[in-house]
Structure 1
Amino acid sequence: MDISQTDLDAFPPTRARILRLIKASGSASLRELAAALDQTRENARQQLQELKQGGWIRGQARAAPDGRGRPAMRYTLTSAGDHLFPKHYDDLTVILLDMVERRHGEAALHQTMRDLTDAGVAQWHQQLADLDLADRIQALRGIYFEDDPYTEVDDSGGEYRLIEKNCPYLNVAMQRPQMCSITVSTLTRLLGYRVVREKRFQDGDHRCVFRVLRHQPVDADRFAFELEADFQSAGE
Structure 2
Amino acid sequence: MTRRAQGFSLLELVVAAAIIATVSAWAMPNFIRTLRQGDVDRYTQAIEAGLYDLRATLGTSRSSCQLTFNQTQTWVNPYQLLEFRQPNGTYQETDRLRCCNSQIHQAKLALGSSEECEDGPKIGSLLQNASSLRFIRLEGSPESKQVEVAVSTGDYELTPPGTSARTEPIIFMVRSLEAGNDNRLRTRCVEISGSGHLSRGTWEGSLSQGYCRSRGAETRPNP
Give TM class, smaller chain: under 0.3
TM-score, structure 1 normalization:
0.23
TM-score, structure 2 normalization:
0.24
